[in-house]
Protein backbone atom coordinates (compact mmCIF):
# COMPACT_ATOMS: atom_id res chain seq x y z
CA UNK A 1 0.00 0.00 0.00
CA UNK A 2 1.27 3.46 -0.90
CA UNK A 3 0.42 6.87 0.53
CA UNK A 4 0.53 10.44 -0.73
CA UNK A 5 0.21 13.60 1.37
CA UNK A 6 -1.05 16.97 0.16
CA UNK A 7 -1.28 20.19 2.18
CA UNK A 8 -4.42 22.28 1.75
CA UNK A 9 -5.11 25.72 3.22
CA UNK A 10 -8.73 26.51 4.13
CA UNK A 11 -9.78 30.17 4.08
CA UNK A 12 -12.43 31.38 6.55
CA UNK A 13 -15.28 33.62 5.45
CA UNK A 14 -14.65 35.78 8.54
CA UNK A 15 -12.27 36.05 11.48
CA UNK A 16 -13.23 33.07 13.63
CA UNK A 17 -12.38 33.92 17.22
CA UNK A 18 -12.15 31.89 20.40
CA UNK A 19 -10.76 33.00 23.75
CA UNK A 20 -7.44 31.48 22.62
CA UNK A 21 -7.00 32.34 18.93
CA UNK A 22 -8.29 34.20 15.91
CA UNK A 23 -8.42 32.17 12.69
CA UNK A 24 -8.44 33.57 9.17
CA UNK A 25 -7.15 30.35 7.59
CA UNK A 26 -5.96 26.90 8.64
CA UNK A 27 -3.84 24.17 7.14
CA UNK A 28 -4.99 20.59 6.78
CA UNK A 29 -3.33 17.58 5.17
CA UNK A 30 -5.08 15.20 2.79
CA UNK A 31 -3.76 11.65 3.12
CA UNK A 32 -4.38 9.40 0.12
CA UNK A 33 -3.77 5.66 0.46
CA UNK A 34 -3.89 3.33 -2.53
CA UNK A 35 -2.93 -0.15 -3.73
CA UNK A 36 -1.80 -1.74 -6.97
CA UNK A 37 -5.40 -2.50 -7.98
CA UNK A 38 -6.39 1.15 -8.25
CA UNK A 39 -8.36 1.30 -5.01
CA UNK A 40 -7.81 4.44 -2.97
CA UNK A 41 -9.15 6.40 -0.05
CA UNK A 42 -8.55 9.94 1.16
CA UNK A 43 -8.52 10.96 4.80
CA UNK A 44 -8.00 14.25 6.61
CA UNK A 45 -5.28 15.16 9.09
CA UNK A 46 -6.20 18.48 10.63
CA UNK A 47 -4.42 19.47 13.85
CA UNK A 48 -5.78 22.71 15.28
CA UNK A 49 -3.23 25.41 16.02
CA UNK A 50 -3.25 26.41 19.68
CA UNK A 51 -5.28 23.39 20.75
CA UNK A 52 -3.64 20.23 19.40
CA UNK A 53 -0.48 19.64 21.48
CA UNK A 54 0.97 17.48 18.68
CA UNK A 55 1.12 20.47 16.33
CA UNK A 56 4.72 21.56 16.87
CA UNK A 57 7.99 21.91 14.95
CA UNK A 58 8.35 18.12 14.57
CA UNK A 59 4.79 17.44 13.37
CA UNK A 60 5.50 17.49 9.64
CA UNK A 61 8.46 15.14 10.15
CA UNK A 62 6.11 12.68 11.84
CA UNK A 63 3.69 13.05 8.96
CA UNK A 64 6.41 12.13 6.48
CA UNK A 65 7.36 9.11 8.55
CA UNK A 66 3.77 7.88 8.73
CA UNK A 67 3.24 8.49 5.01
CA UNK A 68 6.37 6.51 4.16
CA UNK A 69 5.27 3.60 6.36
CA UNK A 70 1.51 3.80 6.03
CA UNK A 71 0.86 0.03 6.01
CA UNK A 72 2.76 -0.34 9.26
CA UNK A 73 0.95 2.49 11.03
CA UNK A 74 -2.48 1.39 9.82
CA UNK A 75 -1.84 -1.78 11.82
CA UNK A 76 -0.15 -0.06 14.76
CA UNK A 77 -2.28 2.96 15.63
CA UNK A 78 -1.35 2.54 19.30
CA UNK A 79 2.06 3.98 18.44
CA UNK A 80 0.36 7.25 17.48
CA UNK A 81 -1.51 7.98 20.72
CA UNK A 82 0.28 11.33 20.96
CA UNK A 83 -0.84 12.23 17.41
CA UNK A 84 -4.65 12.07 17.46
CA UNK A 85 -5.10 14.03 14.23
CA UNK A 86 -2.88 11.54 12.40
CA UNK A 87 -4.90 8.66 13.84
CA UNK A 88 -8.04 10.45 12.62
CA UNK A 89 -6.51 10.83 9.16
CA UNK A 90 -5.51 7.18 8.93
CA UNK A 91 -8.93 6.03 10.15
CA UNK A 92 -10.83 8.21 7.68
CA UNK A 93 -8.54 7.26 4.77
CA UNK A 94 -9.00 3.56 5.59
CA UNK A 95 -12.79 3.86 5.72
CA UNK A 96 -12.80 5.63 2.35
CA UNK A 97 -10.47 2.96 0.93
CA UNK A 98 -12.69 0.11 2.12
CA UNK A 99 -15.99 1.71 1.07
CA UNK A 100 -15.85 3.01 -2.49
CA UNK A 101 -19.58 3.76 -2.25
CA UNK A 102 -18.80 6.56 0.21
CA UNK A 103 -21.03 4.99 2.87
CA UNK A 104 -18.84 4.00 5.81
CA UNK A 105 -21.66 2.89 8.14
CA UNK A 106 -25.20 1.85 7.27
CA UNK A 107 -27.30 3.90 9.66
CA UNK A 108 -30.59 5.78 9.66
CA UNK A 109 -28.57 8.86 8.68
CA UNK A 110 -26.70 7.33 5.74
CA UNK A 111 -29.84 5.57 4.49
CA UNK A 112 -31.56 8.99 4.59
CA UNK A 113 -34.25 7.92 7.03
CA UNK A 114 -33.29 10.46 9.69
CA UNK A 115 -31.22 13.62 9.98
CA UNK A 116 -28.80 14.59 12.73
CA UNK A 117 -29.83 17.58 14.90
CA UNK A 118 -27.16 20.30 14.94
CA UNK A 119 -26.68 23.21 17.34
CA UNK A 120 -26.44 26.69 15.87
CA UNK A 121 -23.22 28.54 16.69
CA UNK A 122 -22.42 32.12 17.68
CA UNK A 123 -18.77 32.93 17.12
CA UNK A 124 -16.91 35.23 19.44
CA UNK A 125 -16.38 38.79 18.31
CA UNK A 126 -17.40 42.27 19.34
CA UNK A 127 -20.89 42.83 20.71
CA UNK A 128 -22.45 43.92 17.42
CA UNK A 129 -20.98 40.98 15.50
CA UNK A 130 -22.25 38.48 18.06
CA UNK A 131 -25.70 40.05 18.20
CA UNK A 132 -25.96 40.04 14.40
CA UNK A 133 -25.33 36.29 14.48
CA UNK A 134 -28.01 35.87 17.15
CA UNK A 135 -30.49 37.87 15.05
CA UNK A 136 -29.85 35.59 12.07
CA UNK A 137 -30.29 32.49 14.22
CA UNK A 138 -33.51 33.75 15.80
CA UNK A 139 -35.07 34.02 12.34
CA UNK A 140 -34.80 30.26 12.06
CA UNK A 141 -36.28 27.48 14.15
CA UNK A 142 -33.16 26.43 16.01
CA UNK A 143 -33.64 24.39 19.19
CA UNK A 144 -30.07 24.71 20.50
CA UNK A 145 -27.52 27.50 20.27
CA UNK A 146 -23.91 27.48 21.38
CA UNK A 147 -22.14 30.74 22.20
CA UNK A 148 -18.37 31.05 22.40
CA UNK A 149 -17.75 33.49 25.25
CA UNK A 150 -14.91 34.70 27.45
CA UNK A 151 -13.33 37.02 24.92
CA UNK A 152 -15.26 40.28 25.38
CA UNK A 153 -16.47 42.20 28.42
CA UNK A 154 -18.48 39.89 30.66
CA UNK A 155 -21.27 42.45 31.11
CA UNK A 156 -21.66 42.62 27.34
CA UNK A 157 -21.96 38.85 27.21
CA UNK A 158 -24.71 39.00 29.85
CA UNK A 159 -26.49 41.53 27.63
CA UNK A 160 -26.36 39.08 24.76
CA UNK A 161 -27.90 36.36 26.91
CA UNK A 162 -30.64 38.74 28.07
CA UNK A 163 -31.30 39.56 24.43
CA UNK A 164 -31.58 35.88 23.55
CA UNK A 165 -33.91 35.07 26.40
CA UNK A 166 -36.11 38.06 25.55
CA UNK A 167 -37.19 36.17 22.45
CA UNK A 168 -36.78 32.51 23.36
CA UNK A 169 -37.33 30.78 26.70
CA UNK A 170 -35.57 27.65 27.89
CA UNK A 171 -38.61 25.66 26.78
CA UNK A 172 -37.93 26.44 23.13
CA UNK A 173 -34.19 27.18 23.05
CA UNK A 174 -31.31 25.36 24.73
CA UNK A 175 -28.28 27.58 25.35
CA UNK A 176 -24.82 26.04 25.57
CA UNK A 177 -21.85 28.22 26.50
CA UNK A 178 -18.24 27.50 25.59
CA UNK A 179 -15.69 29.39 27.67
CA UNK A 180 -12.60 27.61 26.27
CA UNK A 181 -10.97 27.81 29.71
CA UNK A 182 -10.98 31.63 29.79
CA UNK A 183 -12.13 32.18 33.41
CA UNK A 184 -9.59 32.51 36.18
CA UNK A 185 -10.21 30.25 39.21
CA UNK A 186 -10.56 33.35 41.43
CA UNK A 187 -13.43 34.73 39.35
CA UNK A 188 -15.13 31.63 37.98
CA UNK A 189 -17.67 31.09 40.78
CA UNK A 190 -18.90 34.68 40.66
CA UNK A 191 -19.26 34.61 36.88
CA UNK A 192 -21.05 31.27 36.85
CA UNK A 193 -23.49 32.50 39.49
CA UNK A 194 -24.40 35.48 37.27
CA UNK A 195 -25.19 33.10 34.41
CA UNK A 196 -27.73 31.05 36.40
CA UNK A 197 -30.78 33.26 35.64
CA UNK A 198 -30.48 32.52 31.91
CA UNK A 199 -31.38 28.82 32.20
CA UNK A 200 -28.11 27.67 30.67
CA UNK A 201 -28.03 24.05 29.47
CA UNK A 202 -24.28 23.63 30.05
CA UNK A 203 -20.97 25.46 30.27
CA UNK A 204 -17.99 24.00 28.45
CA UNK A 205 -14.57 24.16 30.09
CA UNK A 206 -15.01 27.20 32.37
CA UNK A 207 -11.35 27.14 33.49
CA UNK A 208 -8.17 26.02 31.78
CA UNK A 209 -7.34 22.32 31.81
CA UNK A 210 -5.00 20.77 34.37
CA UNK A 211 -6.76 22.12 37.47
CA UNK A 212 -8.80 19.03 38.32
CA UNK A 213 -9.22 19.87 42.01
CA UNK A 214 -10.68 23.28 41.18
CA UNK A 215 -12.81 21.83 38.37
CA UNK A 216 -14.22 19.18 40.67
CA UNK A 217 -15.33 21.85 43.16
CA UNK A 218 -16.92 23.85 40.34
CA UNK A 219 -18.88 20.77 39.25
CA UNK A 220 -19.97 20.11 42.83
CA UNK A 221 -21.10 23.65 43.58
CA UNK A 222 -22.31 25.12 40.29
CA UNK A 223 -26.03 24.94 39.54
CA UNK A 224 -25.25 24.91 35.81
CA UNK A 225 -24.09 21.57 34.36
CA UNK A 226 -20.41 21.53 33.43
CA UNK A 227 -19.00 19.97 30.25
CA UNK A 228 -15.35 19.04 29.73
CA UNK A 229 -13.53 19.51 26.42
CA UNK A 230 -9.91 20.69 26.58
CA UNK A 231 -9.59 18.77 29.85
CA UNK A 232 -9.59 15.54 27.83
CA UNK A 233 -6.68 16.49 25.55
CA UNK A 234 -3.56 14.41 26.00
CA UNK A 235 -5.20 11.87 28.31
CA UNK A 236 -4.45 8.70 26.38
CA UNK A 237 -4.78 5.61 28.61
CA UNK A 238 -7.97 3.93 29.76
CA UNK A 239 -6.88 4.20 33.39
CA UNK A 240 -6.19 7.93 33.19
CA UNK A 241 -9.39 8.63 31.28
CA UNK A 242 -11.48 6.74 33.80
CA UNK A 243 -9.73 8.41 36.74
CA UNK A 244 -10.20 11.90 35.26
CA UNK A 245 -13.94 11.50 34.64
CA UNK A 246 -14.55 9.79 37.96
CA UNK A 247 -12.64 12.47 39.86
CA UNK A 248 -14.26 15.52 38.22
CA UNK A 249 -17.65 13.89 37.48
CA UNK A 250 -18.91 16.40 34.90
CA UNK A 251 -22.43 16.30 33.52
CA UNK A 252 -21.14 16.12 29.93
CA UNK A 253 -18.04 15.61 27.85
CA UNK A 254 -17.62 17.22 24.43
CA UNK A 255 -15.71 15.00 22.03
CA UNK A 256 -13.59 15.94 19.01
CA UNK A 257 -12.25 12.83 17.26
CA UNK A 258 -9.25 14.55 15.67
CA UNK A 259 -8.18 15.91 19.07
CA UNK A 260 -9.36 13.33 21.61
CA UNK A 261 -7.68 10.22 20.27
CA UNK A 262 -9.21 9.60 16.88
CA UNK A 263 -12.43 7.60 16.61
CA UNK A 264 -10.94 4.74 18.59
CA UNK A 265 -10.09 7.14 21.42
CA UNK A 266 -13.49 8.82 21.38
CA UNK A 267 -15.23 5.43 21.50
CA UNK A 268 -13.29 4.66 24.66
CA UNK A 269 -14.25 8.02 26.18
CA UNK A 270 -17.90 7.22 25.43
CA UNK A 271 -17.62 3.75 26.95
CA UNK A 272 -16.18 5.19 30.18
CA UNK A 273 -18.69 8.05 30.28
CA UNK A 274 -21.61 5.63 30.02
CA UNK A 275 -20.27 3.63 32.93
CA UNK A 276 -20.17 6.79 35.04
CA UNK A 277 -23.53 8.19 33.93
CA UNK A 278 -21.97 11.09 32.00
CA UNK A 279 -23.61 12.25 28.77
CA UNK A 280 -21.72 13.35 25.68
CA UNK A 281 -21.95 14.97 22.29
CA UNK A 282 -19.54 15.38 19.38
CA UNK A 283 -18.29 18.56 17.73
CA UNK A 284 -15.98 19.28 14.86
CA UNK A 285 -12.51 20.71 15.38
CA UNK A 286 -12.99 22.90 12.30
CA UNK A 287 -12.28 20.08 9.87
CA UNK A 288 -13.06 20.38 6.19
CA UNK A 289 -16.15 18.71 4.75
CA UNK A 290 -14.08 15.55 4.30
CA UNK A 291 -13.54 15.14 8.03
CA UNK A 292 -17.04 16.34 8.88
CA UNK A 293 -18.53 13.65 6.66
CA UNK A 294 -16.62 10.92 8.49
CA UNK A 295 -17.60 12.29 11.92
CA UNK A 296 -21.28 12.57 10.97
CA UNK A 297 -21.40 9.04 9.58
CA UNK A 298 -19.61 7.65 12.62
CA UNK A 299 -21.73 9.43 15.24
CA UNK A 300 -24.93 8.41 13.45
CA UNK A 301 -24.33 4.87 14.73
CA UNK A 302 -25.28 6.03 18.24
CA UNK A 303 -29.04 6.30 18.91
CA UNK A 304 -28.53 9.26 21.26
CA UNK A 305 -27.07 11.35 18.42
CA UNK A 306 -30.56 11.75 16.94
CA UNK A 307 -31.98 13.15 20.18
CA UNK A 308 -29.11 15.39 21.29
CA UNK A 309 -27.79 18.21 19.05
CA UNK A 310 -24.27 17.63 17.76
CA UNK A 311 -21.73 20.33 16.93
CA UNK A 312 -21.30 19.55 13.24
CA UNK A 313 -22.61 22.69 11.60
CA UNK A 314 -19.23 24.12 10.57
CA UNK A 315 -19.25 23.06 6.92
CA UNK A 316 -19.97 26.58 5.66
CA UNK A 317 -17.06 28.26 7.45
CA UNK A 318 -14.67 28.17 4.52
CA UNK A 319 -14.51 29.90 1.15
CA UNK A 320 -12.70 26.94 -0.42
CA UNK A 321 -14.08 23.93 1.43
CA UNK A 322 -13.91 20.46 -0.10
CA UNK A 323 -17.04 18.88 -1.65
CA UNK A 324 -19.62 17.90 0.92
CA UNK A 325 -21.56 14.68 1.43
CA UNK A 326 -24.21 16.39 3.51
CA UNK A 327 -26.33 19.51 3.59
CA UNK A 328 -27.64 21.58 6.47
CA UNK A 329 -31.29 22.59 6.58
CA UNK A 330 -33.11 24.08 9.56
CA UNK A 331 -30.27 22.93 11.83
CA UNK A 332 -30.52 19.31 10.77
CA UNK A 333 -27.70 17.60 8.88
CA UNK A 334 -28.82 15.40 5.99
CA UNK A 335 -26.63 12.82 4.23
CA UNK A 336 -26.11 13.32 0.53
CA UNK A 337 -24.00 10.91 -1.47
The single residue of 62, 148, 217, 239 carrying the catalytic annotation is: 148
Tens of pLDDT, residues 265-292: 999 999 999 999 999 999 999 999 999 9
98 a catalytic residue: no
**Tens-place pLDDT, residues 204-219:** 999 999 999 999 999 9
- Which whole number is the average pLDDT over 138-148? 93
The Cα 85–Cα 73 span in angstroms is 13
List residues bridging with 327 in a β-sheet: 334
Supply the DSSP symbol for 207.
Answer: B
Q: Is 148 a catalytic residue?
A: yes
Instruction: Give dist(CA 301, CA 200) in Å, integer.
Output: 28
Chain segment 133-142, per-residue pLDDT in tens: 999 999 998 9
Catalytic residue among 17, 146, 191, 256: 256
* pLDDT per residue as tens digits for the range 211-269: 999 999 999 999 999 999 999 999 999 999 999 999 999 999 999 999 999 999 999 99
Measure the CA–CA gap between 135 and 290, rounded to whole angstroms.
Answer: 30
Burial environment of residue 189 by CB neighbours within 10 A (0 to 12, 13 to 18, 19 or more)? middle
Residue 311 has pLDDT above 80, yes or no: yes
pLDDT band at 20 (very low <50, low <70, confident <90, very high): low
Q: Domain 2-98 maps to which CATH number in 3.40.50.1220, 3.30.390.10, 3.40.50.2300, 3.90.110.10?
A: 3.30.390.10
Phi/psi of residue 186, nearest 5 degrees: -75, -20
| Parallel, antiparallel or unpaired: strands 120-122 and 144-148 | parallel
The proportion of the chain whose per-residue pLDDT surpasses 90, expressed as a percent, equals 88
d(CA 70, CA 284): 25
- For residue 32, which phi and psi values (nearest 5 degrees)? -105, 125
Higher pLDDT, 16 or 189: 189
Triad 184, 285, 311: Cα angle to 5° = 90
For residues 31 and 67, is the Cβ–Cβ distance under 8 A? yes
The dotted CATH code for 116-335 is: 3.20.20.120
Q: Is 23 or 128 the better-scoring residue by pLDDT?
A: 128
Residues facing 12 on adjacent strands: 318
| Full-model pTM | 0.95
Domain extents for the chain?
Answer: 2-98, 116-335
Compute the mean pLDDT over every residue in the chain, rounded to the nearest whole number: 95
At 57, is the secondary structure helix, strand, or coil?
A: coil
User: pLDDT tens for residues 49-65?
Assistant: 888 889 988 999 999 99
Q: Which residues, including other chains, have CB under 8 Å from residue 165's CB and lie 6 or more apart? A: 198, 199
Q: According to DSSP H, which parts of the chain are helical?
A: 59-68, 70-74, 84-98, 127-138, 154-167, 185-195, 212-221, 238-248, 262-275, 289-299
Amino acid sequence: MAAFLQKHTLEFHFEAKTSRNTFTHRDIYLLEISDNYGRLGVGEISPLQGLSPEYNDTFEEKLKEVTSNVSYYLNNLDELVDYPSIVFGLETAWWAYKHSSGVFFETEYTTKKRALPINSLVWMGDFDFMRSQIDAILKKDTKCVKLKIGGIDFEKELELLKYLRRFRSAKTLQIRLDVNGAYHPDEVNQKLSELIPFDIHSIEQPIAKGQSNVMRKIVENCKIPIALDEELIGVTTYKDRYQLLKEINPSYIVLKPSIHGGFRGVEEWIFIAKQLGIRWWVTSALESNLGLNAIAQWVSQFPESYDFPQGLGTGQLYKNNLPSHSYLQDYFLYFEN
